[in-house]
Amino acid sequence: MDILIQFAYVVSGGLFIFGLKQLGSPATARRGNMVSAIAMLVAIVAALLDQGIVDFQWIVIGFVVGGAIGAGAARMVQMTSMPEMVALFNGFGGMASLLVGWASLAGATETFTLITIVLAILIGGLTFTGSLIAYGKLSETIGSGAVMFRGQQVVNSLIVLGILGSAVMFCIQPENPQWLYMVVGLSLVFGVMAVIPIGGADMPVVISLLNSYSGLAACAAGFAVNNNILIVAGSLVGASGIILTQIMCKAMNRSLSNVLFSGFGSGVQDTTEVEGEIKPIVVEDAFYILEAASSVAIIPGYGMAVAQAQHVVKELCELMEENGAEVNFGIHPVAGRMPGHMNVLLAEADVPYDQLLEMDDINPRMENVDVCIVIGANDVVNPAARENEGSPIYGMPVINVDQARTVFVLKRSMASGFAGIENPLFYKDNTRMLFGDAKESIGGLIREFS
């Protein structure tokens, strides 16, 4: 049995790596997710059998109950709420690692084991509460802006010192539970304090970073319980999360420390006056321009998710292609509220993957685009990032939609984006504002084509 369990660990580790590789492409991501899920199932079953305290009956019961809860939650959640669900997944992963680390305390006497227990509890605790705050900001059940107050850095420093002191005392006196309780409590508080100063516009970075934290917590828990596959899986999640976080930061031309500690959007005011006037357009006039276009670029944003317009966007795309237009989608790395948000929405609508172009691929083509349709995107198409040195997002790479011959911006109102910054794109001479629900507006264009 021991040989079979070790073989299962090796197989699951290989499947984890293979699945993670496939998650790197939209074309294979769904398959990669399934492979990784199978790898996790194999790893869990092998780990439970390795403990010698669980039989197949309980494994099956846990699989059925957990699978039912997961399937029900995944089916009920709206696509607009997917970022919040991912935040909760990260939080639950952190809490699981905290509980595993705590449970492994029984009989632990070696200093190395005690250190890994502390790390699992610390990282798991801050991941849990930090993810809850991220969930609240994404769902806007709490304010999405950065929460800053005088002396905040001093308070955070005291919390960190308290954690370090309690962790050291716990390793010296593991029989005294009060030090462990201090680590647990302070880690939960630190998770809140670490995320509240981060504005909603930076939530994609926070989501990927918390994902990395959940992996690191699992890795520490793996050392605590001496389980190799948990160490491997946690390391893979932690490393991939850090890489993705770095990609997100690069896409915003900001460092990770700037994201975590700058309090983006708090106390920053751009006093530059935007020149020009708004030029609204109706569906009928927009149709005539689209009908004559030979090249169309569609830039989706969170507004498309809110309107649940991805399916009608796909239908409009097909009609324009039948009319002789070349249609592509421009995907900004931080569009939406989580990494890959737009890719998930468009994949759900079966948009061909070869039409999804990254920012660096779509920008060189923009000057030759007849019509660029911006659906609910705001900050990622804001030309102030290039033109206005006083803007909070100056230097952030954006999709240069203003260089297209004509720009349609689909918005409900003139409200600013999640970053709360005015967008001069709306006042450009080549921009036309198509106000209203994006799904209804695109539906109107479809009826005109039909």
Q: How many CA atoms lie within 13 A of 199 on its CB side?
A: 18
Q: Which of 418, 327, 409, 346 has the alpha carbon at shortest distance from 374?
A: 409
Q: Could you tell me if residue 276 is inside a domain?
A: no
Indicate whether 200 and 325 sit together in one domain.
no
Indicate whether 102 and 1 sit together in one domain.
no
Of 338 and 280, which is predicted with more confidence?
A: 280
pLDDT of residue 264: 47
CA distances from 205 to 74, 243, 252, 326, 409 (A): 23, 11, 10, 33, 26
Task: Express each pLDDT in 153-166 by its tens digit.
Answer: 899 999 999 999 99
CA distances from 23 to 42, 225, 347 (A): 19, 29, 13
CA gyration radius for the chain? Answer: 24
How many structural domains does the chain have? 3
pLDDT confidence of 318, banded at 50, 70, 90? very high
pTM as predicted:
0.81
Residue 257 has pLDDT above 90, yes or no: no
Q: Could you tell me if residue 278 is inside a domain?
A: no
Q: Could you tell me if residue 274 is inside a domain?
A: no
Integer Cα distance of 362 and 257 in angstroms = 29
CATH code (residue 407): 3.40.50.1220
Long-range contacts of 250-256 (CB under 8 A, 24+ apart): 251/332, 251/333, 251/334, 251/359, 251/396, 251/397, 252/202, 252/205, 252/334, 252/393, 252/396, 252/397, 253/395, 253/396, 253/397, 254/396, 256/205, 256/209
Q: Could you tell me if residue 277 is inside a domain?
A: no
Indicate whether 118 and 214 sit together in one domain.
yes
Residue for token pair 């989706």: 300
Q: Choose one of 37, 61, 76: the last residue of a domain.
A: 76
Indicate whether 254 and 289 sit together in one domain.
no
List of residues 6+ apart from 16 with CB closer than 8 A: 36, 39, 40, 43, 232, 233, 236
Q: Choose one of 9, 41, 76: the last residue of a domain.
A: 76
Indicate whether 70 and 142 sit together in one domain.
no
Task: Express each pLDDT in 131-157 by its tens digit.
Answer: 999 999 888 788 777 788 888 889 999
Crossing angle of helices 29-51 and 2-22, rounded to 10°: 160
Indicate whether 325 and 410 sit together in one domain.
yes
Indicate whether 331 and 188 sit together in one domain.
no
Residue 221 has pLDDT above 90, yes or no: yes
Contact 106, 223 (CB under 8 A): no
Integer Cα distance of 188 and 105 in angstroms = 19
Contact 366, 401 (CB under 8 A): yes
Task: Express each pLDDT in 339-397 by its tens digit.
Answer: 788 888 888 888 888 899 999 999 999 999 999 999 988 888 999 888 887 777 788 88
Catalytic position from the list 55, 379, 429, 437: 379
Average pLDDT, the chain: 87
Give the whole-number percent of the chain exceeding pLDDT 90: 49
Residue 253 has pLDDT above 80, yes or no: no
pLDDT of residue 122: 95
Task: Express each pLDDT in 114-123 by its tens digit.
Answer: 999 999 999 9
List of residues 6+ apart from 234 with CB closer than 8 A: 97, 215, 216, 217, 218, 219, 220, 221, 222
The residue segments making up the domain with residue 48 are 1-76
Indicate whether 98 and 243 sit together in one domain.
yes
Q: Could you tell me if residue 349 is inside a domain?
A: yes
Phi and psi at residue 30, in whole multiples of 5°?
Answer: -65, -40
Q: Choose one of 243, 267, 291: the last residue of a domain.
A: 267
Q: Is 370 a catalytic residue?
A: no
Indicate whether 103 and 239 sit together in one domain.
yes
